[in-house]
Amino acid sequence: MEYCEVCEEETEHYIIKQRGRQFLIQCSECGNIKTVVVDKEIDIVTLVSDGETTLKKIARFPQNQEIVKDTYLFFDEIPYLITKIETKNGPVNKAFTQDIWRLWLKKSEYVQIRFVIVMGDTLKKRYLVERFDRVFTVGESVVIDGQRYRITSIFAQGRRHRKGSFEALYVSTVYVK
Ligand SMILES: [Zn+2]
């Protein structure tokens, strides 16, 4: 997928011609043709933990891509949390791909969501494990411990929202009553 300036959205593109890192591509929707240059790629040693196991593998990244700790990378559409970034000089909170020595990732197909159940003056907390792409919407009804509740607000991406929908990956707390 590539952004098309004519369609003003991400569309499928066909490769017409390639010369080194330079590609001539055509939008499958509107037929617009343009040239794109693909960044040079570099290999990084990644240590990927998935439950109890940690796998060491080589992953390919574009050069000059900034990698930030505690954010997600997607491989085969599955999110991986960046838990540690190591350079030759030690661990850092962010770095460009060419400066990274080793990258520590945690497969995050399932995430823990905190539910706060508001019952009058009392609050009850429950932790449930949900798939990362489960979408929560304010107003939606959910079942917790066999009881039906309604979502009143969602804490996601650093603040509390009283409307909207959010993927579990970005949600820390769901308030229900
Ligand atoms: Zn287009």
pLDDT of residue 4: 94
pTM above 0.85, yes or no: no
DSSP code, position 164: -
Q: What is the rounded distance in angstroms from the CA atom of residue 156 to the CA atom of residue 11?
A: 28
Distance 12 CA to ligand 1 centre (A): 8
pLDDT of residue 118 exceeding 90? yes
Q: What is the pLDDT of residues 119-128, one digit of tens each?
A: 989 999 999 9
Percent above pLDDT 90 for the chain: 80
**Average pLDDT across the chain, whole number:** 93
The residue type found at 88 is K
pLDDT of residue 37 exceeding 90? no
Distance 135 CA to ligand 1 centre (A): 29
Contact 94, 85 (CB under 8 A): yes
pLDDT of residue 18: 87
Judgement on whether residues 125 and 78 belong to the same structural domain of the protein = no
Where does a domain end: 107, 131, 148? 107
Where does a domain end: 62, 92, 107? 107
Q: What is the pLDDT of residues 44-96, one digit of tens each?
A: 999 999 988 999 999 989 888 899 999 999 888 899 999 999 999 999 999 99
Q: How confident is the model at residue 117 (pLDDT cuts 50, 70, 90)?
A: very high
pLDDT of residue 146 exceeding 90? yes
Judgement on whether residues 103 and 72 belong to the same structural domain of the protein = yes
Judgement on whether residues 121 and 92 belong to the same structural domain of the protein = no
Distance 25 CA to ligand 1 centre (A): 11
pLDDT of residue 1: 84
Judgement on whether residues 123 and 139 belong to the same structural domain of the protein = yes
Distance 79 CA to ligand 1 centre (A): 28
Distance 30 CA to ligand 1 centre (A): 4
Distance 3 CA to ligand 1 centre (A): 8
What mean pLDDT comes out for the span 102-110?
Answer: 95
Judgement on whether residues 90 and 59 belong to the same structural domain of the protein = yes
Residue 135 sits in which domain range?
A: 110-176
Where does a domain end: 66, 86, 107? 107
Q: What is the rounded distance in angstroms from the CA atom of residue 87 to the CA atom of residue 96?
A: 10
Distance 75 CA to ligand 1 centre (A): 26
Number of structural domains, the chain?
A: 3
What mean pLDDT comes out for the span 103-118?
Answer: 94
Give the residue from 146, 108, 147, 149 showing the smallest Cα distance to 130: 108
pLDDT of residue 159 exceeding 90? yes
Distance 9 CA to ligand 1 centre (A): 8
